[in-house]
Amino acid sequence: MNHLDELESTGIHILREAYANFKNLCMLWSMGKDSTVLLWLTKKAFFGHVPFPLVHIDTHYKIPEMIEYRDQLTRDWHLPMVVGSNIEALEAKQTFPDGNVDRINCCRLLKTEALKNTINATGVRMRFNHATGRYEREENSQPYEGVIVGARADEEGSRSKERYFSPRDKQNEWNIGGQPPEFWNQFKTDFAPGTNVRIHPLLDWTELNIWEYIARENIPTVSLYYNHGDNKRYRSLGCYPCTLSVESEARNVQEIIEELKTGKFSHIAERDGRAQDKDDGGGLETLRREGYM
């Protein structure tokens, strides 16, 4: 097997281990390149089927094309799509765009708190009804015990401290020092009752690996990743008030791969265009310890 085959095989193994060991499982899908590769791996792991809910934490400030892409793939691939939001914070205008909180606290409210409420079934979940073509309130929601995430160790500093199976406590807080060791592909999947576990099948992938796999598998992505003639594109997608593009001439997947191979961005962090990272001193460990995805 080549390196991509090995990464794919490990990812599929982790997904199947998660499905076998956690009763209530979900997968976060942000519509970005990483979580879309994770969605593709899931379809491969389960023979075209996605056997657990996909969860999108919608801040209501995502770039519109991302939401259009989400709903189109949900319909085309008949995905079990669930959306969670912090409606209370949005209605109270406790957001950075409204000018009432800084970026970090906006992320804390619209992402961290929304995610925790969605996982714990203490907030409203909206599930896509394929019969009606609409999102409808999910009744009798149960907490998710395991959450599959498309995090990569090379993407941002705090992610490099994760495990494939990374426990959170009952408040979804992350004790980095309390994570179990993972040697020789031996993974701990039994945890104390009430533990929420984040599962990271893409942990050892790189940005280049992701794009090489997208090219090999012909995976559809949002066009925001490509230069449309203004010599700008996005490397990392987030909320439109806090996400900046980068200078790039790459118009398609192959050109992105060649660009990455030249080392053009070797001195620029992948999430350099995400303003909240800068406001948190260049990393997101504080938010991630509190339960940020």
187 and 283 in a single domain? The answer is: yes
pLDDT at site 292: 62
Minimal CA–CA distance to 165: which of 155, 180, 178? 180
Integer Rg of the chain from CA? 18
pTM above 0.85, yes or no: yes
CA gap 218, 172 in Å, rounded: 35
Are 140 and 212 in the same domain? Answer: no
What's 163's domain CATH number?
Answer: 3.40.50.620
Q: Are residues 247 and 102 in the same domain?
A: no
201 and 211 share one domain: no
Q: How far apart are CA 98 and CA 82, in angstroms?
A: 26
Q: What is the pLDDT along the chain (293 residues), one digit of tens a residue?
A: 799 999 999 999 999 999 999 989 999 999 999 999 999 999 999 999 999 999 999 999 999 999 999 999 999 999 999 999 999 999 999 999 999 999 989 999 999 999 999 999 999 999 999 999 999 999 989 999 999 999 998 876 565 678 899 888 766 677 777 777 877 777 888 888 888 899 999 999 999 999 999 999 999 999 999 999 999 999 999 999 999 999 999 999 999 999 999 988 877 777 665 555 555 554 555 665 565 65
Distance CA 225, CA 281 (A): 26
> Are residues 152 and 227 both part of a single domain?
no
- CB-CB neighbours of 54 under 10 Å: 24
The confidence score (pLDDT) of residue 287 equals 60
Same domain flag for 166 and 41: yes
Residues 124 and 230 in one domain: no
Same domain as 213, residue 82: no
Q: What is the pLDDT of residue 278?
A: 56
pLDDT, position 293: 59
Q: What does 175-234 look like in DSSP terms, one character per residue? A: -GGGPPP--TT-------TT-EEEE-TTTT--HHHHHHHHHHHT----GGGS--SSSEE-
Predicted confidence at residue 272, as pLDDT, reads 63
Distance of alpha carbon 203 from the chain centroid: 12
pLDDT of residue 275: 56
- pLDDT for the residue numbered 199: 93
pLDDT of residue 260: 93
DSSP category for residue 274: B
- 28 shares its domain with 166: yes
User: Residue 200 and residue 259: Cα distance in Å, rounded?
Assistant: 27
Which among 250, 276, 252, 286 is positioned nearest to 265, based on CA atoms?
250
Query: Which domain, by its residues, includes 213?
Result: 207-277
Task: Give the model confidence (pLDDT) of 136-151 as tens digits.
Answer: 999 989 999 999 999 9
Number of domains within the chain: 2
Residues 191 and 229 in one domain: no
Both 187 and 221 in a single domain? no
Considering the domain architecture, whether residues 96 and 237 belong to the same structural domain is answered as no
Q: What is the pLDDT of residue 181?
A: 80
